Chain A
């Protein structure tokens, strides 16, 4: 019991960051599930982080309200942005959302009340681990249930074949937009939690590197199910800690592991579970699973 308490004390920050990264991975999972590659979630995270931090520091707004307002602001910005960028597909869509991320970063560097390049310091660290994990549980449960609903099926149909989806009566643009806005709100919520987990935030925390990191969490974990992004975020956030004994070589090993996963499990780590199931079914002669 003491050992467990000690573990939590030492790794408290890492455990918190894992939960936040899992939320971020889920925020991009929604659009990936609909087959849309957007890279704006770091910017939405920034909006939530600055929103919650400023509201808390300057206006004394309590944390839950600050998180909700940050998520709302983020969703309100995602709506017109989505209307504009979902004319695009594939790489062009990705680039357009990267552009939005850069705009947000520059705006944060220039606004009079966001602390310019220094960012915000002295943010009250009031995020508790249970805030993070309750949020994660609620978001994961909602997404898991929605996945099996008419909405989840519509998103999957859009991913599989947009023209055929429209032909089944699915309003393709509207569903894409809804997925994008929901993802923006979740990313902002995670951003608010992370701002109050640390003492400080700066625009550089939410740049292109972060955008790609969020994508990698989701893809390495696997996008077929809600469990994938959570799994991916957990493993990749914990990896530097696990590889700590390798000292200066640990980034090299982390990179190699990443490459190995993408090459051998292109649909993500969660497919490991499927592989085992398939193998077992083959053993008992049920070759029908394909």
Chain B
């Protein structure tokens, strides 16, 4: 298993945002994480990526205990993520955003740059340009904050991929995308998985989840209420109840 969560919990005051959630995600697949709004999906992602500390339970990545590691340490180990609602460095250029994403894979070149003729990051810039091309971003020197929303989402994915992760967590990547963009995102995820990346996909676009995920876990009120293949999840009465309310179940 690449990522294992062992009964992890997080409380905010009296609210159990995440309650004793178990997850076991094997390498080389898209793993879906769905649930109604407020189910605790984003809190779970913040726990896995180190932005929040768990109150209880343990997280293992690639066999090692990473429960208490900070975000920057997890990025160095190969966990990258995007944010719900996009958090780009808006005042930096598109290319600079991706270069910042490569931070953990670059040696500091501050001292070498003091020598006037040094261009120490040429290879990194080439890598970044390749990523931009792959994501269909054509204006490397435009300010990130000035991009259309769909482009901002793709740039955030490019930035996350720049750290050469083994696990990529996408928090609602298709929000704000039109159907064509969403289809391209699906193709991209499939191609990345074929290159041995593992993806955790949080998404409300049911179609996208069903099309890409091998397994899906469902959260409701902080608890995992179901896990299985997309077909099993679609057939589950428990899941339908969570989304629609009990009285609507036929």
Contacts and interface: CB of A to CB of B under 8 A. Distances in A.
B71 A166 contact: yes
A165 interface: yes
A172 to B, nearest CB: 8
Contacts of B90: 160-161
Secondary structure class of chain A's binding surface, majority of residues:
helix
B152 interface: no
A31 B76 CA distance: 25
B89 A290 contact: no
Interface stretch (A11-19, A54-62, A91-99, A150-158): A150-158
A161 B71 CA distance: 14
Contacts of B88: 160-161, 164
A167 B51 contact: yes
A165 B114 CA distance: 24
A220 to B, nearest CB: 19
A245 interface: no
Contacts of B71: 166-167, 169
A288 B72 contact: no
Contacts of A146: 110, 113-114
A152 B146 CA distance: 22
Contacts of B103: 150, 153-154, 157, 168-170
A271 to B, nearest CB: 13
Given A168-B104, A170-B72, 14 more contacts: A145-B113, A149-B110, A150-B106, A153-B92, A156-B100, A160-B92, A161-B89, A164-B89, A166-B51, A166-B70, A167-B71, A167-B87, A169-B71, A169-B163
Interface of B: 49, 51, 70-72, 75-76, 80-81, 83, 87-92, 96, 99-101, 103-104, 106-110, 113-114, 116, 121, 139, 142-143, 146, 159, 163
Closest 5 CB pairs of A and B: A169-B104, A169-B75, A160-B89, A164-B87, A151-B110
